[in-house]
Amino acid sequence: MLHKICYLGDDTLQGAAAYLAGIMSHFDLPYDYVASAQSPDEGFASRQYALYVISDYPAARFRKGQMSYISECVHGGSGLLMLGGWESFFGQSGQYHQSPLAEVLPVTMRPADDRRNCAQPCLVWKVAEHPILEGLPWDQPPGIGGFNALTPKPDTETLLHSVRFSVCRREGEFEFVRGEALPLLVVGMWGSGRTAALATDVAPHWVGGLVDWGDRRVVQEVAGSLAEFGNWYAEFFRNLLVWTGKWEAKEIGDRRSEIGG
């Protein structure tokens, strides 16, 4: 297995993918990248990655058999992470509901437009303890701008909810009324691989305030430009990649083999 991430989607490294690619570079997580308009190369099914990350990458971009190949890899121990967006899950044009990945992911997708755009505040709400959430100040929750409406499957774990608020201004005061809470981060297993579904996006516009969550700024060079974001945002996504790709165990393994060699 390649000790590497296969990251597909979020337009291009010069576009929305600069965020997650910036996080991977910042934390020294090696990756191969496939832009949203491209298909994976013909040799895709001859390599097994430690982790597949699919984010705003329409299901229609995969060549015949490539999604089934990912399913086999995950069954054999690779991780699979899908991040939300208009081209993820069902979305506007993600259309994964009848794909081979529908049974692998830890959530059930609606067979129709599942986009929820939030003009008024929507906050991230921690609902479980988990390594992905460790060390971050969830009592100072960030906002998000939208998400895909998803249903957790049995035998999965929901770690975060999104919770929407409606705000009215009455006589100079702002009244916040708490509305619907929906699954935002769900994790599970497929064979011996870990799976995760994050219903919001890693990049604007759905990432919302989450991209600026932090007490200091991180600036990272990606493909000749600088990506800038909050440190807690970066650490959350790092944790999500590391856990889903079983990265820490692998790093220990590699270090040991280097020492042993």
Q: Determine, following the binding rule CB under 8 A, whether residue 234 of this chain makes contact with its own copies.
A: no
Among the listed ranges 45-53, 94-102, 128-136, 166-174, the one in contact with its own copies (CB under 8 A) is: 166-174
CB of 140 to its own copies, least distance (A): 6
Closest CA to 245 of 5, 75, 2, 40: 5
Q: Give a three-class secondary structure readout of 85-131.
A: CCCCCCCCCCCCCCCCCCCCCCEEECCCCCEEECCCCEEEEECCCCH
Q: Determine, following the binding rule CB under 8 A, whether residue 138 of this chain makes contact with its own copies.
A: yes
Pairing label, strands 193-198, 173-190: antiparallel
H or E element at residue 149: none
Burial pattern 159-182, b for ≥16 Cβ within 10 A else e, equals bbbbbbbeeeeeeeeeeeeeeeeb
According to CB under 8 A, which one of 97, 108, 125, 251 is a site residue for its own copies?
125
Block residue for tokens 């259309």: 95
Residue number with CB closer to its own copies (63 or 176): 176
Residue number with CB closer to its own copies (1 or 177): 177
According to CB under 8 A, which one of 24, 150, 198, 211 is a site residue for its own copies?
211
According to CB under 8 A, which one of 38, 120, 151, 225 is a site residue for its own copies?
120
According to CB under 8 A, which one of 129, 154, 169, 224 is a site residue for its own copies?
169
What span, in angstroms and rounded, lies between the C-alpha atoms of 106 and 112? 18
**x/- string (CB under 8 A) for its own copies, residues 175-204?**
-x-x-------------------------x
What span, in angstroms and rounded, lies between the C-alpha atoms of 127 and 133? 10
CB of 191 to its own copies, least distance (A): 36
Site for its own copies in 14-73 (CB under 8 A): 15
What span, in angstroms and rounded, lies between the C-alpha atoms of 14 and 9? 12
Q: Determine, following the binding rule CB under 8 A, whether residue 146 of this chain makes contact with its own copies.
A: yes
- Sequence-distant (6+) residues with CB within 8 A of 92 are 86, 113, 115
Q: Exposed/middle/buried for 238, CB within 10 Å: 0-12, 13-18, 19+?
A: middle
Q: Determine, following the binding rule CB under 8 A, whether residue 213 of this chain makes contact with its own copies.
A: yes
Residue number with CB closer to its own copies (64 or 169): 169
# residues contacting its own copies (CB under 8 A) = 39
Q: Determine, following the binding rule CB under 8 A, whether residue 147 of this chain makes contact with its own copies.
A: no
Q: Determine, following the binding rule CB under 8 A, whether residue 130 of this chain makes contact with its own copies.
A: no
Residue 65's identity, in one-letter code, is G
Q: Determine, following the binding rule CB under 8 A, whether residue 83 of this chain makes contact with its own copies.
A: no
What is the contact surface with its own copies in residues (CB under 8 A)?
15, 92, 117-121, 123, 125, 138-143, 145-146, 163, 165-170, 174, 176, 178, 204-205, 207-214, 228, 230
